[in-house]
């Protein structure tokens, strides 16, 4: 969506008021104003491009979805930076949980001196994950596999499949939500890491 020149001149407070009224152009201007800086901020914390993109993308999806309840007690920039900081904390927390889970499984495996058992479980986990990926809708699965297995960026996938980058981001986001729900948090987190 093209931003009108007069929107560029608006203050953050004016933009947030228009956003809460459902103004898509105001939302686009907020996105254009803060997306790059928020991405750099997150990347400096995580040092992971894809995770940084996903967190900023999720933040803007959340901002739009909750626009009607948006009540700023501070500046818009403070609100966005605080929200993105919490998303980074959540991701790190989930990684810690997954790491402890993997360590406990490894510890159990070593205690029992059962590398065969560990290998069997790992193969079972992988089979379950592959089954759930195969159950994704065809277009979503293709995009997801190019992202995760092909290590392609959203832009590269969009070019290869002749789709918009926004469609690719949405499909990957949706596939992750589906997999998280079907695999459960522990298995999903172990898979993502």
Q: How far apart are CA 51 and CA 62, in angstroms?
A: 16
**pLDDT (average), residues 38-57:** 91
Any idea which residue has 């810690």 for tokens?
96
pLDDT at 19: 95
CATH architecture of the domain formed by 1-112: Orthogonal Bundle (1.10)
State what percent of residues in the chain have pLDDT above 70. 79
CA distances from 12 to 26, 72, 125 (A): 9, 10, 47
Report which of residues 114 and 151 the model is more confident about: 151
pLDDT at 96: 64
pLDDT higher than threshold 80 for residue 137:
yes
pLDDT higher than threshold 70 for residue 113:
no
Q: Tell me which fold the domain 114-193 belongs to.
A: Arc Repressor Mutant, subunit A (1.10.10)
Mean per-residue pLDDT over the chain, rounded: 81
Domain coordinates of the chain in residue numbers?
1-112, 114-193
pLDDT at 190: 54
**Is-same-fold flag (1-112; 114-193)?**
no
pLDDT at 23: 94
Do 77 and 41 form a contact (C-beta atoms < 8 A)?
no
Structure tokens of 106? 């490894």
Q: How far apart are CA 67 and CA 80, in angstroms?
A: 13
pLDDT at 177: 82
State what percent of residues in the chain have pLDDT above 90. 31
Structure tokens of 43? 């990347």
């Amino acid at each position: 969506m093209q931003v009108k020149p007069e929107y560029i001149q608006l203050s953050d407070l004016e933009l947030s008021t228009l956003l809460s009224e459902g103004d898509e152009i105001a939302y686009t201007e907020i996105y254009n104003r803060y997306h790059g800086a928020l991405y750099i901020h997150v990347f400096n914390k995580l040092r992971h491009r894809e995770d940084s993109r996903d967190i900023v993308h999720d933040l803007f999806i959340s901002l739009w979805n909750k626009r009607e309840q948006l009540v700023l007690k501070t500046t818009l920039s403070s609100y966005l930076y605080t929200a993105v900081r919490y998303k980074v904390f959540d991701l790190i927390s989930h990684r810690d949980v997954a790491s402890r889970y993997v360590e406990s499984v490894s510890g159990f495996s070593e205690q029992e001196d059962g590398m065969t058992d560990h290998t069997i479980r790992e193969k079972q986990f992988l089979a379950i994950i592959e089954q759930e990926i195969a159950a994704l809708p065809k277009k979503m699965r293709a995009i997801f596999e190019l992202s995760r297995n092909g290590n392609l960026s959203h832009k590269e996938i969009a070019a290869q499949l002749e789709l918009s980058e926004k469609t690719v981001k949405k499909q990957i986001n949706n596939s992750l939500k589906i997999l998280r729900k079907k695999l459960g948090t522990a298995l999903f987190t172990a898979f993502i890491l």
